[in-house]
Structure 1
Amino acid sequence: MPVTALVSAKSSGVTAASLALTLASKRPSLLAECDPAGGTIRAGFLQGEVGAGLGLYHLAAAERTGPDALAQAFANHLWTMDEAGHRKLLPGLTDPAQAGALGRTWPALSEVLHVLADDAGYDVFIDAGRLALESGRLHTTLTPAPLLHQADLVLLTVRGTEQSLTLARHLIDPLRTELAERGSGPDALGLLLIEDGPYRAHQVTEALKTPVLAALPFDASTAGYFTNGGNPPRGYGRSSLLRHARTATEHLEAAASRRKVQQQYPARPGNPQLAGVLQRLSERGGARG
């Protein structure tokens, strides 16, 4: 299954979209909240149910000990979002100042995420937040660059508005160049369209010279629930956002599969020290309140 990273230029609904895709997937799924500016799911969707003792920041110390320690910490710091244990969350940072400690952790975390996707069949989504550039490159602290470099797909999330397209337009070429030079190739880049505004998918594709790989409706009530938490809106399980998100995950899997066939990627080498991730997840299923 693919590892898909979601990013935005500004306020395009990355977190709500990431949650929708994770919760709607037909397969086991995991959302890694890796926005260096700080996570919002803990205080929003989860309504403070998860404390600061669980989450991304704690992986930094474990990574310095070694791959096995990182694998164990990763499994221990997941939060299960459903009763069956099929939807998991790695909660994000509670303080943006913590981002500087993760520079060494991103590549190792990426490897763990690919183990889950490749060996355990998880749909893995990364909320990478707002893109930050420095001299035309991804900022090494304000963006989790290694996660984008190694992702199967990188989705620039945009709304169908003139403002959103204008902001995104300035990021397309630097991001495409970055993926060409340091990532898995420029064709990893696609768009996730939030259908808010007058522009439709074919118009957005033409305007940004980048394909729309999936689209989600602007569902204010469900997106508000994902952003702010509280009681789910009436008919939440049958909401247009979740129904379209389920279809979107299939489109993304198909796009990632086409890339692998076209690029003829060699199989990723196995890492016995990370194989324990799968066993620990199956044994415990992550934390749950």
Structure 2
Amino acid sequence: MPVTCLVSAKSCGVTTAALALTLACARPSLLAECDPAGGTIRAGLLRAQVNAGYGLHHLAAAERVGPAELAQAFASHLVPLDGQAGHRRALLGLTDPAQAAALARTWPALSDVLHVMAQSADHDVFVDAGRLTLDAGRLHAALTPAPLLHRADLVLLTVQGTEQSLTLARHLLGPLRAELEERGTGAEAFGLLLIETGPYRAHQVTEALGSPVLATLPWDPGPAAYLTAGGHLPRGFARSRLLRHARTAAEQVKVFAARRQMHQRYPPPAHPHLTGLADILDRPAPVRGAARG
């Protein structure tokens, strides 16, 4: 299964798109909320029902002890997005952007864990990497989770079909492609995820930005508002345009990633120190109360 990073030039619905893709997957799926600017799912979709005792920032201390401790901590900090069924889970993001500095050395190890989730635990993995920040033409070392993008099977720049969104995206295209070519899995890992609002359609966005639109999601305000702010589950949410198109988009992402993997010269790296992670994840998750804080 692929590891797919979603990014943006500015707020274009990255978290909403990542949640839709995660919830729409037919297979077990995971969303890792890795935006250094802070996570929004805890206070949004989950309505503060999961307290700060769970989440990404706790992994930094575990990583400093060792890979086995990181794997254990990772598994224990996943929260269900689909009730107690546990087929769709999330690693919730930072509660304070100041916590991002402590994760600088954790990103590579977390990337290993996410790829084990995809390869050994057969999860579709989506990473919400947030808004990209450049520093001298490179991904900013502190304000972006660059190692996650370098190792991803796919990196999708989320754009809307508006002139403003395309203008903001243009300045990222060259640096991001160059970064993936020099430090990542290749510039071919890059593509666009189009949110269909505004006058530009997929073929026009591809032409305007010179990069392929690999998947599209509709502008569907009602279901999107639920994913953003939570609350009462809308009637027919699973059959909404957003979720129906997200199922198609998730399959398109998987097919494209599989095609890339077949053409890559080297097999995915093995992580023997993380071989027990899939077994850990198969254990029943503890029932978490609606702790607030």
Shorter-chain TM range is over 0.9
Alignment correspondent of 1:235: 236
Please tell me whether the aligned partners of residues 77 and 287 of structure 1 are also in contact (alpha carbons under 8 angstroms).
no
Alignment correspondent of 1:35: 35
Alignment correspondent of 2:276: 276
Query: Match for 1:209: what amino acid?
Result: G
Distance 1:149 1:184 in 2: 6
Q: How many residues align?
A: 288
2:48 counterpart of 1:52: no
TM-score between the two structures when normalised by the length of structure 1? 0.98
Distance 2:6 2:216 in 1: 13
Shift of 1:103: 0.4
Shift of 1:139: 0.4
Alignment correspondent of 2:18: 18
The two structures, once aligned, show a CA RMSD in angstroms of 1.0
TM-score between the two structures when normalised by the length of structure 2? 0.96
Paired residue secondary structure (2:276): helix
Distance 1:197 1:168 in 2: 15
Please tell me whether the aligned partners of residues 158 and 193 of structure 1 are also in contact (alpha carbons under 8 angstroms).
yes
2:104 counterpart of 1:103: yes
Paired residue secondary structure (1:206): helix
Alignment correspondent of 1:147: 148
Worse overlay, 146-155 or 222-231: 222-231
Query: Match for 1:284: what amino acid?
Result: P
Distance 1:270 1:9 in 2: 33
Query: Match for 1:141: what amino acid?
Result: A
Distance 2:181 2:144 in 1: 17
Alignment correspondent of 1:222: 223
Shift of 1:287: 5.5
Identity %: 68
Paired residue secondary structure (2:127): strand
Distance 1:215 1:145 in 2: 24
Query: Match for 1:106: what amino acid?
Result: W
Alignment correspondent of 1:252: 253
Shift of 1:258: 1.1
Query: Match for 1:265: what amino acid?
Result: Y
Please tell me whether the aligned partners of residues 154 and 191 of structure 2 are also in contact (alpha carbons under 8 angstroms).
yes
Please tell me whether the aligned partners of residues 45 and 226 of structure 1 are also in contact (alpha carbons under 8 angstroms).
yes
Query: Match for 2:15: what amino acid?
Result: T
Query: Match for 1:204: what amino acid?
Result: V
Structure 1 portions without partners, runs of 5+: none
Alignment correspondent of 2:183: 182
Distance 2:255 2:128 in 1: 20
Paired residue secondary structure (2:283): helix
Distance 1:212 1:265 in 2: 26
Shift of 1:275: 1.7
In the TM superposition, structure 1's runs of 4+ consecutive aligned residues that sit over 6 Å from their partners are: none
Q: 1:286 to 1:79 in 2, by over 3 A?
A: farther
Please tell me whether the aligned partners of residues 6 and 18 of structure 2 are also in contact (alpha carbons under 8 angstroms).
yes
Shift of 1:286: 6.1
Please tell me whether the aligned partners of residues 112 and 271 of structure 2 are also in contact (alpha carbons under 8 angstroms).
no
Q: 1:286 to 1:136 in 2, by over 3 A?
A: farther
Q: 1:286 to 1:105 in 2, by over 3 A?
A: farther
Structure 2 portions without partners, runs of 5+: none
- Residue deviations 1:108-142 (CA, integer Å, cap 9, x gap): 00000000101111000000000000000000110
